[in-house]
Amino acid sequence: MTVRRRPTWVEVDLEAIRHNVRVLTPPGVQLMAVVKANAYGHGDVEAARAALEGGATWLGVALVEEGARLRAAGIEAPILVLSEFPEGSEHDALATGLTPTLYSDAGLGRLAQAISRAGSAPGPGAAVDVHVKVDTGMHRVGVWPPQETAAFVGRVRDAGLRLEGLFTHLARSEDDAPTTDRQLEVFRGALAQVRAAGHVPRLLHAANTAGTILHPSAHFDLVRPGIGIYGVEPGPGVGAALGLRPALTWRSRVTFVKRVAAGESVSYGHHHYLDRDTWLATVPVGYADGYPRVLSSRADVLLAGRRCRVAGSVTMDQLIVDCGDLEPCVGDEVVLLGRQGEEAVTAEELGGLAGTIGYEIVSRIGERVPREYR
Ligand SMILES: *Cc1c(COP(=O)(O)O)cnc(C)c1O
């Protein structure tokens, strides 16, 4: 492990991830822990292991590279890449044991070719399992129109692949039940046609975190939560009753302290005017670490268990905190995100202040912030 010189780090509570997986798993249903984007900033390998310990049976990733990192760390659980393998990555992705998603003839053709080149002659009964994704209204990726699904699945089988899963993705599960119901109806329609054509997908899945929490009719055989396993709400109040525990705390320490008189202004642009004498504390974290610059003079950090406002512009590597009459000391711990004493700053709060969502706050915490696990 490399030596940490700068006192800025993220602490991840792996027991919180295990707990969240347990409470999010519906009875009799499998859970695929979505660990894309470095597990939403939490550290992919460690988060994946914790999720598996909590009962997850599958992992989901966005990139072939992400799946390969998990395999290189020795993780053997099935891993679904949630979109088609990028052109040229098919051979490596299969060799790594990643499960492909398919929804286009181009993607199917490339995958079938990669298999035949590898020498394991495709034909009915060949061992490559795939999941076919149906677009039921999200309109990102998936078979469209959904009535084409049965025919596409037929071509998948003709190419010698086996349909293990059929899935879709919900666009508004956190805030709009009618849209979700409509998507599920379309999904069930496609499924009925697939079954009528003689295919029997073993794993049906549709539910992201909000689908898992709010829509039991979306559970099918497996749920696919991401944000919830990290203890962040997918939408305002969604899951509040479940007792999800935020897994991530972003910490730093005061590196410089000064008393500054009323009438002075702070940081780049001097946008923050001091109308009273105050203590200022400098904290070594900035927008290059993923702390959004738009939080300048808006967000609070926690210092000595109290909320203190960020004073003026967040800079690339440092920010300044207005501590009022609370005299800080060099070395005092600062919590940018998480709990300190009785106070907490949540990803949802920072997302709201930054005009975005908690997902973006945690997943953009930069690579130069070391992650520690407990
Ligand atoms: C990211 C993603 C998920 C997880 O969504 P959350 O809202 O984080 O629970 C599930 N399925 C797919 C296809 C995804 O892309």
What's the full length of the chain, in residues? 374
pLDDT at residue 344, rounded to an integer: 98
d(CA 290, CA 26) in angstroms, rounded, equals: 34
Ligand 1: does its nearest atom lie under 6 Å from the Cβ of 225? yes
State in Å: Cα 272 to ligand 1 middle.
39
Q: Which atom of ligand 1 is nearest to the CA of 229?
A: 9
Q: Which atom of ligand 1 is nearest to the CA of 208?
A: 9
133 has catalytic annotation: no
* Complete DSSP assignment for 211-232: HHHH-GGG-TTEE--SGGGGT-
Q: Which helix (H) or strand (E) holds 101?
A: strand 101-102
SS3 347: helix
Asked if 308 and 272 touch (Cβ cutoff 8 Å), the reply is no
State in Å: Cα 359 to ligand 1 middle.
11
Q: Which atom of ligand 1 is nearest to the CA of 359?
A: 8
Which residue do the tokens 């479940």 mark?
242
Kindly give the pairing relationship between strand 8-12 and strand 248-253: antiparallel
268 has catalytic annotation: yes
Ligand 1: does its nearest atom lie under 6 Å from the Cβ of 227? yes
pLDDT in tens, the chain (374 residues): 567 899 999 999 999 999 999 999 999 999 999 999 999 999 999 999 999 999 999 999 999 999 999 999 999 999 999 999 999 999 999 999 999 999 999 999 999 999 998 875 444 434 699 999 999 999 999 999 999 999 999 999 999 999 999 999 999 999 999 999 999 999 999 999 999 999 999 999 999 999 999 999 999 999 999 999 999 999 999 999 999 999 999 999 999 999 999 999 999 999 999 999 999 999 999 999 999 999 999 999 999 999 999 999 999 999 999 999 999 999 999 999 999 999 999 999 999 999 999 999 999 999 999 999 99
Q: Which atom of ligand 1 is nearest to the CA of 211?
A: 9
Ligand 1: does its nearest atom lie under 6 Å from the Cβ of 208? yes
Query: Of the listed 36, 103, 230, 359, which one is catalytic?
Result: 36
**How many CA atoms lie within 13 Å of 138's alpha carbon, on the beta-carbon side?**
20
Residue of 69, 67, 158, 56 whose CA lies nearest to 105: 158
Ligand 1: does its nearest atom lie under 6 Å from the Cβ of 224? yes
Ligand 1: does its nearest atom lie under 6 Å from the Cβ of 31? no
How many of the other CB atoms lie within 10 Å of CB of 211?
26
Ligand 1: does its nearest atom lie under 6 Å from the Cβ of 209? yes
Residue nearest to ligand 1 atom 4, measured at CA: 226
3-state secondary structure 299-330: CEEEECCEEEEECCCCCCCCEEEEEECCCCCC
Query: For 279, phi and psi rounded to 5 degrees?
Result: -90, 130
State in Å: Cα 224 to ligand 1 middle.
6
Ligand 1: does its nearest atom lie under 6 Å from the Cβ of 169? yes
Q: Which atom of ligand 1 is nearest to the CA of 83?
A: 13
Calculate the CA dihedral of residues 175, 176, 182, 183 and round it to 10 degrees: -20
Mutate which of 208, 219, 348, 362 to test ligand 1's pocket (most atoms within 8 Å of Cβ)?
Answer: 208
Ligand 1: does its nearest atom lie under 6 Å from the Cβ of 51? no
**179, burial (CB in 10 Å: exposed 0-12, middle 13-18, buried 19+):** middle
pLDDT at residue 2, rounded to an integer: 67
Residue nearest to ligand 1 atom 15, measured at CA: 82
Q: Which atom of ligand 1 is nearest to the CA of 133?
A: 13
Residue of 165, 160, 166, 72 whose CA lies nearest to 118: 160
d(CA 48, CA 312) in angstroms, rounded, equals: 38
Calculate the CA dihedral of residues 69, 371, 294, 284 and round it to 10 degrees: -140
State in Å: Cα 209 to ligand 1 middle.
7
- What pTM did the predictor assign? 0.96
Ligand 1: does its nearest atom lie under 6 Å from the Cβ of 213? no
Residue nearest to ligand 1 atom 10, measured at CA: 208
Ligand 1: does its nearest atom lie under 6 Å from the Cβ of 82? yes
pLDDT at residue 120, rounded to an integer: 56
